[in-house]
Amino acid sequence: MIRIDIISLLPELLESPLGHSIVKRAADKGIAQINIHDLRDYGKGSYRQVDDYPFGGDAGMVLMIEPVYNLISDLKKRVSYDEIIYMSPDGELLNQNLANRLSCLKNLIILCGHYKGIDHRIREHLITMEISIGDYVLSGGEIPAAVLCDAVIRLIPGAVSDETSALSDSFQDNLLAPPVYTRPAKFMEWEVPEVLLSGNPKLIKEWQDEMALERTERLRPRLLKQKSDS
Q: What is the pLDDT of residues 165-194, one digit of tens each?
A: 565 566 667 899 999 999 999 999 999 999
pLDDT above 70: residue 203: yes
Superfamily of domain 2-153 in CATH is SPOUT methyltransferase, trefoil knot domain (3.40.1280.10)
pLDDT at site 58: 85
pLDDT at 227 over 80: no
List the one residue out of 74, 64, 63 whose CA is nearest residue 37: 74
* Mean pLDDT value across residues 134-140: 93
If one looks up domain 168-229 in CATH, what number appears?
A: 1.10.1270.20
Domain boundaries of the chain, sorted by first residue = 2-153, 168-229
Could you tell me which residues come within 8 angstroms of residue 51 by beta carbon, excluding any fewer than 6 positions away? 61, 62, 63, 64, 114, 115
Query: Quick check: 70 pLDDT over 60?
Result: yes
Backbone CA torsion sign across 144, 148, 154, 158: negative
Question: For residues 185 and 192, is the Cβ–Cβ distance under 8 A?
Answer: yes
Q: Is the pLDDT of residue 76 over 60?
A: yes
Taking the CA of residue 156 as centre, how many other CA atoms within 13 Å lie in the half-sphere pointing to its CB?
A: 25
Q: What is the DSSP letter of 49?
A: B
Q: What is the pairing mode between strands 186-187 and 2-8? A: unpaired
Q: What pLDDT, in 10s, does the model give residues 13-57?
A: 999 999 999 999 999 999 999 999 999 999 999 999 999 999 998
Question: What pLDDT score was predicted for residue 228?
Answer: 67
Residue 174 has what pLDDT?
85
Mean per-residue pLDDT over the chain, rounded: 93
- Tell me, what's the pLDDT at 162? 66
